[in-house]
Amino acid sequence: MPSRPRTAVVTGAAQGIGQFWAQRLATDGMNVVIADLSPGDETVARVTAAGGQAIAIVCDVTDETSVQNLRDEVEDRFGGTDVLVNNAITYAQGSLLKLTLKDWRKVLSVGVDGLFITSRALVPSMKERGWGRIINIASNTFGLAMPGMVPYITAKGGVIGFTRSLASELGACGITVNCIAPGLTRTEQSAQALGASGMFERIAAMQAIPRTVKPEDLVGALSFLASDDAAFVTGQTFVVDGGLVRH
């Protein structure tokens, strides 16, 4: 066991599923850093109300200077990063011929470049300790190949490839790298966007467990992968979608 509480950095945790990742890691006894372009005050409030410790740092994962500032502040406050959850992503939906190069680059910049920039900045403190957990958030859409989501699914495929390759690179350092691929999850934001469309119900009907995925369904996988119990698990993609994608 560590002599001090471990520290987790969760990108894109100001809202949505990221809030639940942050809350669970705090419940597990970690200091939590919410790194997001948007203010993370609501997530901090949720964590502290549950008895955890959290701070929010405004950070653009596509900007090296912003991420370096994040790293420096985490080191000053907590002595470094032990767990990194690469959760930040953005969206651009539409058919190939309607998407612009700007749309494409925006999604790939956050979803893939951000993964590289953030991991490269925070891995050194893990290597110094000989212990670390990197948990990247993909999506079950990579296994479904749904139309109208080319940039998003491409980015999530990149997340899986990055996970497998980096796991091979860091395994001897005591650092594991894994991936969680959630199904369509009902959050406040997704419910506002899709609640009236019937999509939640249609997808749930195709799952082995025929109900809509909730954030609470996802956090157990995160808790395990961030723990000492997962010390011999690396390079893996955990699909958590009620059995919609069956490999």
Label residue 146 by pLDDT band (50, 70, 90).
confident
Predicted TM-score of the model (pTM) = 0.95
| pLDDT tens, residue by residue, 57-97 | 999 999 999 999 999 999 999 999 999 999 999 988 888 99
Mean pLDDT value of segment 158-172: 98
Label residue 190 by pLDDT band (50, 70, 90).
confident
Q: What is the mean pLDDT of the chain?
A: 94
Both structure tokens of 175: 């650092």
C-alpha closest to that of 83 among 140, 22, 39: 22
- Residue 232 sits at φ, ψ, to 5 deg, of -110, 20
Distance from C-alpha of 185 to C-alpha of 19, rounded to nearest angstrom:
13
Give how far the C-alpha of residue 216 lies from the chain's centroid of Cα atoms, to the nearest Å: 15
Mean pLDDT value of segment 95-103: 93
User: What pLDDT was estimated at residue 192?
Assistant: 83
CA atoms within 13 A on the CB side of 84: 31
Both structure tokens of 236: 């893996």
Both structure tokens of 187: 């959050």
Is-contact 25 78, C-beta < 8 A?
no
193, pLDDT greater than 80 = no
Domain boundaries, the chain: 7-184+215-240
Label residue 3 by pLDDT band (50, 70, 90).
low
Q: Considering the domain delimited by 7-184+215-240, tell me its CATH architecture.
A: 3-Layer(aba) Sandwich (3.40)
- Residues with catalytic roles: 152
Angle between helices 17-27 and 215-225 (to 10 degrees): 50
247, pLDDT greater than 70 = no
User: What pLDDT was estimated at residue 148?
Assistant: 85
Distance from C-alpha of 32 to C-alpha of 49, rounded to nearest angstrom:
13
128, pLDDT greater than 70 = yes
User: What pLDDT was estimated at residue 36?
Assistant: 97
Label residue 238 by pLDDT band (50, 70, 90).
very high
CA distances from 187 to 43, 124, 215, 217, 234 (A): 14, 34, 7, 12, 28
